[in-house]
Structure 1
Amino acid sequence: MWAFLQHLSFWDWLALGTVLLILEVFGAGGYLLWIGMAAAAVGVLTFVVPDLSWELQFLLFGLLSIATALYWWRRQRSAVRQSDEPNLNLRGQELIGKTFVVHEAIVDGRGKIKVADGVWMARGPDAVTGSRVRVTGQQGAILLVEPAE
């Protein structure tokens, strides 16, 4: 093992970098990409300066790996931004505050309202078919309603 470490060549580092880049393909979220790039950078540096000791090579690899992983982490954090439409994939949330017509009378707190070309279950005070209600909230697939004014 010591003989291998003392005779590390740039090919070893390039092979490690290649293996890490291949593993990145299987979904590591970008981290193995940058660590693979650090291994490739140490390989190039070892090609340019072949007399680097194995300790220095490992130290450079560790420092470059940490630096590139931190760079990737910061870049990912800064890329997160607020959406223009925060309720885009929260079905029903966009209906809160809007007024709709009762499709099936709300009796004992349960009924249905007509929303565009669909019908939603509704919970709220009793209301007759055809009356208007305003959506005040949502519990799963049930819209909470109150009489519209």
Structure 2
Amino acid sequence: MQEEIEEKTVRLAITGTRMSINGIMAGIRLYMRHRANKKLESIDSHIQGKQSIDELIKQNQGVTSMEIGDKGIKTFERIAKKYGVDFAVIKDKNQNPPVYTAFFKARDTDALEAVMNEYGAKMVKKEQRPSVREKLKRLVQKVKSQPKKTRTKKKEHVR
């Protein structure tokens, strides 16, 4: 009789443990599936920063455009990413030098103003900064205009 009770107790403990393990494993699987779905949703939901013109238009929020010169396009992209503006840049190959057109969401106008102000300030600062090549040319001319030093070698006789 005692052995029978012990056997039933052991079986109860084993089945309880199995049920606990199966429940925990099912919970972990469910959680992992949930995290994978959330990750996919976050990737698909919104692309931010630089994107193609088609992706920008597909968001159905209206698009505005602005022409940008051929210099400083990387600076512009860096500043636009800093402000979180969604944009697309297209190169117009028909003109020489090529002109870049930047397309923005219509709702980003406030951020766009800040981007353009900072971009304009950086470009003005870059234009005012003297060229390193010009500085080098001036220094070379200055060195050429100076008379060369004549060196005289005198040896002392030592006795």
| TM-score > 0.5, shorter chain as reference | no
Structure with higher strand content: 1
**TM-score (normalizing by structure 2):** 0.29
